[in-house]
Structure 1
């Protein structure tokens, strides 16, 4: 399956803090693949795999709803630590492939840039597939890969989520650093957010309240790095109304303090990818780490809801084209 029409392509770029050899192994070692392949909540069973030209990978994905999804892959290019090209199908060798996948692994020393392109037969099929990927949370696959690689490299448990927005990086940065903007989209659905004070600068802090009408939560944020327009880093904890540290009102074993790293990357003049990396900060007990790991699905749902609101806000804030 080939196409010279870029509208038939679905492209994705990720940069991982791991050497290319580790990223390649995470893709090709079945024991590792089983730990991250598929959207959040999915698991896989591999029936057979031959990683070679004209070799195949036959596996079943198991959805969180109990539904099974058969998958069939045939490899066309296998260049270790450099490139994979394969056709992806939906059941057997004699069925037509759904799309072709090209994966390029770029060695950046201690980091690796992954470029993935899915090529569909027509622009209409590509658009339909984009919708299916979004509805199924398919891009969380590459977030799970990031979490797996972080665990492999440092032993740390993290949460990662990415989202690309159709807006220039300067505007997306404003959405993260101007309180009147991010108070509109950052809170959980049904909550409103109000800052009693905020100073978005290295060493600055903020104190806020979030309410849904039935009850109010308070929190404090402390900024570690503010590097416009690419990097924002801060810690966050729950407090009472007097700014005394407290626990999550619904999860008493949730880690006391969380660290958030936000990275903005230009994917073109009018598109920006946001990467959020979230992890416990400071001392955390094994019970707190376990609670954090168990809640990754809920975190994905929460951040997805916030990002949906951010997407709507970006549409309203940008000037209409002539």
Structure 2
């Protein structure tokens, strides 16, 4: 069995991720229910495994617990298992209802990294469209962001926040939307805020000094230093809150927030006019245990914040 790059059928939902971990570690973190409990499910969900038999014909019986207290029972039944290479299983069944779709997952070693390719096959194209909308509304793709965070913590002992989003735009345009001040100032600020620049030297080794305001009672200043700008592929910069004179300060509403945050943005073409953006956010430099914990505790809030910005970017691209 091997992965193919053929275009998904109308009744299929396809996604891929590259994880910075060897395929054996990725596989184990996927199939071990103890490890899966740390990342499986949308952000804010928790997981209870009742039983698991990783064999052809075996089942994984578990319950996902939503942040609102709703329980979602699930029975996954395995049809194919090729260790460190692939899994095929039915997803979404209960004792009283049939599976929602069949999942095929390929794990491919790329040096010390792992390419994960997942295809969800549904009965009809209409069912695939409905499921795609449900996954988006439930934040289901954050499962794979949580997986990246978990692997990073296990391998590098670093706490990060990861979020992915695919946009209907070519990769060169997406890179420009992130690296030209006249573009990203329109979508990057929190919802309800505007962004203006006192300095915008947007090149590798350059920096910016900016202001964000909601027009009434909140004004925030910040500065960014650009560490890496690889055209259409990768962007790395650090950010710090500061006062109007560019003296370093702290988040005006979160005094225990880490002083320096590093943002890594990776751009992946998913066709001629589709681009996936992967944002990795992490504290760097000196920070206390309390500041690190504040960062960890705010991951759900970060998801909401970045989702709001991404929604504005999508609107801007469609204008």
Aligned residues: 312
Taking structure 1 as reference, are residues 217 and 45 closer, same or farther at Cα in structure 2, changes over 3 Å only?
Answer: same
Matches within 5 A, 1:113-262: 113-213=115-215, 214-262=217-265
Any stretches of 5+ residues in structure 2 without a counterpart? 1-6
Task: Report the Cα distance in structure 1 between the residues aligned to 2:286 and 2:155, rounded to whole angstroms.
Answer: 20
Any stretches of 5+ residues in structure 1 without a counterpart? 317-322
Instruction: Show the counterpart of 2:4.
Output: none
Q: Is the 8 A contact 1:18 1:112 kept in 2?
A: yes
Counterpart of 1:38 (choices 41, 47, 54) is: 41
Task: Report the Cα distance in structure 1 between the residues aligned to 2:203 and 2:92, rounded to whole angstroms.
Answer: 50
Q: CA deviation at 1:5?
A: 7.3
Off by >2 Å, runs of 4+ in structure 1: none
Counterpart of 1:16 (choices 19, 25, 48) is: 19
Task: Report the Cα distance in structure 2 between the residues aligned to 1:311 and 1:190, rounded to whole angstroms.
Answer: 16
SS in 2 for 1:35: coil
| TM value normalised by structure 2 | 0.96
Give the superposed CA RMSD: 1.0
Instruction: Show the counterpart of 2:3.
Output: none
In the TM superposition, what whole-angstrom CA distance separates every residue of 1:130-160 from its partner, at most 9, and x where no partner exists? 1100000000000000000000110000000
Q: Is the 8 A contact 2:8 2:14 kept in 1?
A: no
Task: Report the Cα distance in structure 2 between the residues aligned to 1:176 and 1:60, rounded to whole angstroms.
Answer: 39
- Determine if the alignment matches structure 1 residue 98 to structure 2 residue 105: no
Instruction: Show the counterpart of 1:310.
Output: 313
SS in 2 for 1:256: coil
| TM value normalised by structure 1 | 0.95
Q: Is the 8 A contact 2:105 2:117 kept in 1?
A: yes
Instruction: Show the counterpart of 1:292.
Output: 295
